[in-house]
Amino acid sequence: MTDDLLTGAEAIGEFLSMSERQVRRLHDLGQLPSWKDGRVLRARRSSLIAWVEYQHAKRRNTAT
């Protein structure tokens, strides 16, 4: 299960091709499936993949 865990805004950003600032902003707005463990931001790869797929589907449905 630890293979699924990303630790830190930098690692999450690399996975999503986003800057740390974008990751932190989305987290602070409650729009990113992530949580803080003390001062460290964490997310599961599987949750991020599902989130990206959902965002893509949502945009595709509103574009038509």
Q: What is the pLDDT along the chain (64 residues), one digit of tens a residue?
A: 569 999 999 999 999 999 999 999 999 999 999 999 999 999 999 999 999 999 999 988 886 5
pTM here is 0.88
Domain that holds residue 52: 2-63
**Domain total for the chain?**
1
Distances (CA, A) of 14 to 7, 38, 49, 50, 51: 11, 21, 13, 17, 16
